[in-house]
Structure 1
Amino acid sequence: MLVVDDQDLIRAGLVALLRAAPGLEVVGEAADGEGAVAAAVRVRPDVILMDIRMPGMDGTTATERILALAEGPAPRILVLTTFDLDEYVYAALRAGASGFLLKDTGPQRLIEAVTAVAGGDLLFAPSVTRRLIEAYVERAGLAPGAAGADLDVLTARECEVLRLTARGLSNTEIAGQLYIGEATVKTHLNRTMSKLNVDSRAQAVVVAYETGLVVPGGPGL
């Protein structure tokens, strides 16, 4: 893991916590975006815990550059943010981050999130993602259907799976609601992401809101 945060005390605490967790190894630290890009190229971490607001290059720009420069499997990037920085989170998801954590996340949940992302999960805490994206869309005044993505390329089932994903349901919850297997849900999501030309579940959620498939403030779970 690579830990990126401009506050020395917070970064040191994160490093100590992660080093004490079984199965996790911290291979580098950085205090800003430029340092994060350089470290990612140098140590090639599997997961990067990325602060989003930093002096100089911010976490969003660093995320874009790290993923663009990645050779072989790209690192999975978990963004650290506070709830009121909606536009930063939105930009990070668009940049290709695998998910994000709030800065008030407890130690155990942090470790679980890192482990989940390292194991291949593309988004942590999807219900929080939904709330953040809804808040951003409302604040920015984005009109449904404003995005360039064409949902006509999706089947009815793929649209339904995408809609439920954007509403914050996990794969297990989607499987239960649609009476299909969890593996089938994953297959539909993978096909959806391929058809929409997005790289992560998080980016697919963004498309769902931009195209109007899910409307902010609409029906919940």
Structure 2
Amino acid sequence: MFGDRTPRARAAGDAAMMLPSVRARRAVAVLLGVVVFLVVGLTVDPALGLLSGIAAQAGVFALGGVLLFWPMTAERTRAHARRDDFKPLLEETIVVLEALVSLAAIITVLLIHDQHDRKPAVVAGLLAIFMSWAMLHLMYAVRYAYLYYRHPVGGIDFNSDDPPSYRDFFYFSYNLGMAYQVSDTNVSSTEIRAVVLRHTLLSYAFGTVILAMTVNIVAGIATN
């Protein structure tokens, strides 16, 4: 499929190593989130600032990752997924904990926020949850790419003779995030199945919260 010693493979590997690391991208996202929190929190409302900061950091991390990974070819995807500085279990743990803490903070803030002026906080809360959801599935897309391109290569059948790029792993990951199950891709690896199970459970938790918040908002509008 790929030859590690071919010029194209070496070029793809060199290009992958030049990309910003996940730690650098997360640091930038967190820094921006803190700035948004301080600006909005000090000038408007602390609760709204917290929700806006969570939405900003998750959104920057998720959108930045999509813009970075989407154009990659299969060769660059393979080289990037196998880079030496990638610690998949650590990255999964950090992003999952970050998403769950954000979810808990969002729910808490919305519950204790002033009931007479909730609309801005509700909008910011929904945006924060959606961006945290997008960040979570981006991380799992990268995780699946890493697991797929480990030796031996495989574990997910994309029903194509062409090797998969990050676009294929986005399809796989975000489909799980929305449907809580695989669609037209068969999983043949026990390790990948274990990750899929964790992924779908987290997706269900996020989906439940989003549905509950939506019902609450509609009920509040109808009451008023």
Higher relative contact order (CA closer than 8 Å, sequence separation 6+)? 2
- The bucket for the TM-score relative to the shorter chain is under 0.3
* TM-score calculated relative to the size of structure 2: 0.26
Q: Which has the higher strand share?
A: 1
Q: Which has the higher helix share?
A: 2
| Structure number, greater radius of gyration | 2
* TM-score calculated relative to the size of structure 1: 0.26
